[in-house]
Structure 1
Amino acid sequence: MSSRSGFSLTESEPVGLTAAARWADQLAAWAIPEHLLDRAPQSPYAHAVATFEVDDTLDRAVLSAEVARAVLPETGGSVLDIGCGGGRAAMSLVPPAERVIGVDQDPAMLAAFTAAASVAGARSMTIEGVWPEVVFDAPIADVVTCHHVAYNVADIEPFVGALTGRARLAVVLVIPTRHPMTAWNNAWRRFWQLERPDGPTADDFAAVLTEMGIDAERWEMPRPPLSRHASDPARRVPSTLRRLCLDDDRADEVAEFLDVHEPEWPTEYAVFRWPGDAA
């Protein structure tokens, strides 16, 4: 495995703001206008549990798993998975991990996590709640994983600090190199004449780590395989309607748009690893 580090601010970035403040400001710009939320037939923020469930698409050989396994003990290791969903990050580390702890605010996700751990043959524990509010409910683990969560966290410094404080050996955090919701920017423009932001990025997250004094290694990898549910073509139109706060009567219009303008999902993911500081 190879890594790279060292990031500098560009001249276009606001002067005087900390990296954490820039991160928060950029995330705030993603707020969906209230008048659209009020008329949305379903929450644009909802997620189907099946999207994050462990199935036969799980690839234990992806770089993020290799980076985590490189620091796990050969036997008896433990993993604390923050924003665990159905457990795809944690289960890719079983074995050598023998105990997995999942933290998520959705009890249905935690039930899927427990079921996946049982199938994988790992001992498991789940904690319902939002990180880092539940940090003291979580046991210390050899490795703390956090996949595809950071772009949902405006107050990023305490979030990262809590990850570090619960890791005995290392934290492994994965995010797309650019904000995943940029994939819908053309659609927002088409259906609502709404311009959406394009940040923050993985480089902005790296700047936060540097500002916190965290010397993180960084790798980049291709987008990992999606679950079968997430890649099901039948979900294409319904998920777009939900994301864009559109009624079902716009389905044909959305389908025609998607035939020409398929969402441009990020194809490259950043993997960060830094030392834990738990005793």
Structure 2
Amino acid sequence: MTFIDAAAQSRSLRRAWRDLVEGFQQRELWLHLAWQDIKQRYRRSVLGPFWITIATGTTAVAMGLLYSKLFKLPLEEHLPYVTLGLIVWNLINASILEGADVFVANEGLIKQLPTPLSVHVYRLVWRQMILFAHNMIIFVIIAVIYPKPWSWTVLTVIPALGLIVLNAIWVSLCFGILATRYRDISPLLGSLVQLLFFMTPIIWNESTLQQQGAQDYARIVELNPLLHYLDIVRAPLLGADQELRHWIVVLVLTVVGWLVAAFAMRQYRARVPYWV
């Protein structure tokens, strides 16, 4: 086999797909590694990962109390809204920022352990889902304090979380490959995500914009894709009406994102071990 043939074979879509499949099949490995990440991070700590839950809960309560007073919103409505917004945002935020560093952070394993690249992405996403589950305890407590009428539409949160996971995987793959090649991408994403936080309805909502006379800003906010990801998870848990447009946008972005991820894996998967 010539060098050109070997290079062409390494860039085949079949090998990229095989990487994703074989990586998923090694779930005992990435499930264990993700759990070890959390245990290692909170080694010798009594509360362990619940420190993240406490930090998120404190932030949510503080922001919910403050902005409900500033915007004159009912606390029983705004506090659950802010809490869920922060919990889902933390999941999205980590998928983008930690996803950009996923291969650089695992340089030693990539060079020494012959595993598919997707193993490191699955490990990252599973770790974030564990932390997401811990943080959901906060919402459960607030939901008990301020109960809301739920319907069968609350079950749509299951496919919504499934879509979040699918998007977290392709985002980590794409940004991980890009940021491994160009190290300036990671800090750039940090600044961009921080900007998107203030453009995403987490601590404010549409009624807030109406009170401030900023209805035109609401149309600009619609261009923020994170708004749609946030709403498909938050709306059913708050007992709010589902809007089809959010699901359509998320589904379209999921398909487009995976097409981009497939191209990135096909073209550059073999180069990542050299770039790290």
TM-score normalized by structure 1?
Answer: 0.25
Which structure has the bigger radius of gyration? 2
TM-score normalized by structure 2?
Answer: 0.25
Structure holding more helix per residue: 2
